[in-house]
Amino acid sequence: MLVKHGIAVSPGVAIGQSMVLGAESFRIPQRFVSVSAVDAEINRFRISLQAVCTEIEENERVARERLGNQYAAIFTAHLMMVQDHRIVDEIELLVRQKCFSPEFAVSRVFRQYAKKFQNLGVPYLAERATDIFDLEKRVLRQLLGERREELRNIQAPVLILAHNLTPSETASLDKAYVLGFATEVGGTTSHTAILAGALELPAVVGVGNFLSDVAGADTVIIDGSHGAVIIDPDAETLARYRAVEQEHRNFSNRLEAIRTLPSVTLDGVGISLYGNIEFPHEAASARQRGGEGIGLYRTEFLYLDASAEPTEEDHYRSYCEVLKAFPDRPVVIRTLDLGADKLPIGFRMEYPEGVNPALSLRSIRLSLQHLDLFRTQLRAIARAACHGDLRIMFPLISTLLELRQAKMILGDVLEDLEEQGIAYRRDIPVGMMMEVPSAAIMAEQFAREVEFFSIGTNDLIQYTLASDRGDPRIANLYRAGDPAIIRLIQIVVKAGQSRGIPVSVCGQMSSDPLFVPLLVGLGLRQLSVTPHLIPEIKELIRKLTISKAENLANRVLRMETANDVESFLRGEHRKLSPESPA
């Protein structure tokens, strides 16, 4: 048994067989074979190995002819490795003595060597682990033949373990077969993490190197609530987690019952709960969970998934699909929030050396310099707005001038539509994200020029505390509970109240049950959260009273450190929801 710790990004427990992506991107269907089949299995292994050797010899021949002996030597070495009697003997021994399936034995033994190489402390040898993974893949491919299952067509439930998953890979995971996942890299607000929440799969990211510790088909537990990945658990641990898994299921069932109840506090104040979504189809899931609209539709996934730049029609269709789930409820569309970390293909730019991408050309700044891109999206939003209560939200606004410029371009676009006689909505509500400290400080002034604010806590924390959200080394600084963040939220809420415009929070902070009573106490009456958390947040709201929440907020406002704030809120949360598994 081996326990690895990472960052918990999507709660729940998943128990199952591992599928290790990258080195071996297919599933090992069975781990054991019957005693009577051992000889046949060993024979099957030898035939596969022979086929791999023939394959490598062919590579060697081609390399020698085309590139010369020097390059062919790599394949000569591969051939020696795959025939290495130490490896072959060990694999056959595992099959014969432990009845391992050849696939499982191959994965185990090759990975043990890869691990050994990685641990020698010599960079050249550590890199040779890649050669070993390559050989493992070759042998498995032969062994599995037509039976091999790749990521796209997995046929049995697995836990995905990978170095990293791209947003589109994460999105393409089939929920029927993928029980959860863990990655070596990534942080709380990485896009993979956000998608895991959207897919409602237990997930742990930022685990560090662990893939060579696990073989394909090993039993693995992913504890997405506590950020643990347990490889090859012992019987006691397994039993404990089976119980936790059951508890989670009961908890979810209870939340299901709350779905149709209104989101009001004990003293009758309504707190509107909206969903944050990345894909149009999630709108239906937000509605099904009791969401009252969409508080944040992150449109950049339109760009990331497409191989070409999306057309006005692509935008229009996606927005109409979201409106289908909420024909009469607010749907807030955030315009392009592309940044250095999420640029589409063909759009990647080089930042000049010495320039910090997070502080450079991203989000609304990028839109204002690529007007074609921006206009295309604004036209689609204005047209789709005919079919429901669509609203526009500009991200990363830092100054009033920037906001006015964005609004001016919107005005131009509407004028064009008018001239072209295309149906659109003239009085489409315009709001902005509050995620740059300069804007939060100037909230009073901004409140005169927009119709709503939405506080984006992820970037607000990053910029206020000058801490990259992706860097685990400074995770102690990147904290929603920091008193500076709470004060900035207070400023924005007060500005909204004094001008009578609605304020919501759509960052990760509002999806964290810990912070919900505080946000309500600070005066927020709208929260936009990950759809699957809507029932849990609603249950919490239904236990609050405004006066209690305000008292709690007043106490928090007197605290000086994030540690004090968070430990106080944890204590309060336990009192409110003693049975919550999180």
Partner 1 sequence: MSQMIHRRNVIVRTEHGLHLSPCSRVAQAALKFRSQVWLTKGSVRADAKSVLDLMTLAAGPGAELTLEVTGDDAPEAVEAILHLFEYDLVSASS
Q: Could you tell me which stretch among 119-127, 165-173, 264-272, 559-567 binds partner 1 (CB under 8 A)?
A: 119-127
Which residue in 26, 100, 104, 117 binds partner 1 (CB under 8 A)? 117
Verify binding: residue 358, partner 1, rule CB under 8 A: no
Which tokens sit at 145? Answer: 């033949």
From the candidates 78, 315, 506, 573, which is the catalytic residue?
506
From the candidates 191, 248, 532, 573, which is the catalytic residue?
191
Rounded CA-CA distance 63/338 in Å is 43
CA angle 173, 204, 15 (to 5 degrees): 70
Rounded CA-CA distance 308/527 in Å is 34
Burial bucket for residue 111 (CB in 10 Å: 0-12, 13-18, 19+): buried
Verify binding: residue 85, partner 1, rule CB under 8 A: yes
Verify binding: residue 386, partner 1, rule CB under 8 A: no
Looking at beta carbons only, is 60 or 435 nearer to partner 1?
Answer: 60
Verify binding: residue 421, partner 1, rule CB under 8 A: no
Helix (H) / strand (E) element for 186: namely none
Q: Could you tell me which stretch among 46-54, 76-84, 424-432, 518-526 binds partner 1 (CB under 8 A)?
A: 76-84
Verify binding: residue 113, partner 1, rule CB under 8 A: yes
Rounded CA-CA distance 529/512 in Å is 9
Verify binding: residue 53, partner 1, rule CB under 8 A: no
CB 514 within 8 A of CB 540: no
Verify binding: residue 123, partner 1, rule CB under 8 A: no
Verify binding: residue 129, partner 1, rule CB under 8 A: no
Verify binding: residue 73, partner 1, rule CB under 8 A: yes
Verify binding: residue 15, partner 1, rule CB under 8 A: no
CB of 126 to partner 1, least distance (A): 10
Rounded CA-CA distance 357/392 in Å is 25
Question: What is the number of residues in the chain?
Answer: 582
Q: Could you tell me the CA-to-CA distances from 9 to 191, 193, 401, 574 in Å, in that order?
A: 11, 6, 37, 20
Which residue in 42, 74, 475, 484 binds partner 1 (CB under 8 A)? 74
Which tokens sit at 323? Answer: 């409106």
Q: How many residues bind partner 1 (CB under 8 A)?
A: 20
Residues at the annotated binding site?
A: 298, 334, 435, 458-459, 469
Looking at beta carbons only, is 86 or 575 nearer to partner 1?
Answer: 86
Which tokens sit at 500? Answer: 């009578």
CB of 53 to partner 1, least distance (A): 14
Verify binding: residue 84, partner 1, rule CB under 8 A: yes
**Rg of the Cα trace of the chain?**
27
Verify binding: residue 80, partner 1, rule CB under 8 A: yes
Looking at beta carbons only, is 64 or 128 nearer to partner 1?
Answer: 128
Rounded CA-CA distance 377/576 in Å is 43
Q: Catalytic residue at 99?
A: no
Which residue in 38, 42, 51, 81 binds partner 1 (CB under 8 A)? 81
Q: Could you tell me which stretch among 83-91, 343-351, 399-407, 554-562 binds partner 1 (CB under 8 A)?
A: 83-91
Verify binding: residue 67, partner 1, rule CB under 8 A: no
Looking at beta carbons only, is 9 or 135 nearer to partner 1?
Answer: 135
Verify binding: residue 128, partner 1, rule CB under 8 A: yes
Verify binding: residue 116, partner 1, rule CB under 8 A: yes
Enumerate the H helices of 32-122 as residue ranges: 38-67, 69-83, 85-98, 102-118
Rounded CA-CA distance 107/105 in Å is 5
Q: Could you tell me which stretch among 68-76, 312-320, 351-359, 436-444 binds partner 1 (CB under 8 A)?
A: 68-76
CA quadruple 290, 293, 299, 302: dihedral, nearest 10: 60
CB of 582 to partner 1, least distance (A): 44
Looking at beta carbons only, is 85 or 473 nearer to partner 1?
Answer: 85
Verify binding: residue 241, partner 1, rule CB under 8 A: no
Pairing of strands 13-20, 219-223: antiparallel
CB of 50 to partner 1, least distance (A): 17
Rounded CA-CA distance 58/138 in Å is 14
Which residue in 37, 38, 42, 77 binds partner 1 (CB under 8 A)? 77
CA angle 54, 91, 221 (to 5 degrees): 115
Residues at the annotated binding site for phosphoenolpyruvate?
A: 298, 334, 458-459, 469
CB of 73 to partner 1, least distance (A): 5
- Furthest CA-CA distance within the chain: 82
Which tokens sit at 567? Answer: 């430990």
Q: Could you tell me which stretch among 45-53, 75-83, 290-298, 451-459 binds partner 1 (CB under 8 A)?
A: 75-83
Looking at beta carbons only, is 119 or 246 nearer to partner 1?
Answer: 119
Q: Of 283, 537, 531, 496, whose CA–CA distance to 388 is shortest?
A: 283
Looking at beta carbons only, is 83 or 577 nearer to partner 1?
Answer: 83
- Residues β-bridged to residue 13: 223
CB 230 within 8 A of CB 221: yes
Q: Catalytic residue at 53?
A: no
CA angle 234, 235, 238 (to 5 degrees): 85
Amino acid at 546: I
Rounded CA-CA distance 297/279 in Å is 8
Binding site for partner 1 (CB under 8 A): 73-74, 76-77, 80-81, 84-87, 113, 116-117, 120-122, 124-125, 128, 131
- The residues carrying an active-site annotation are 191, 506
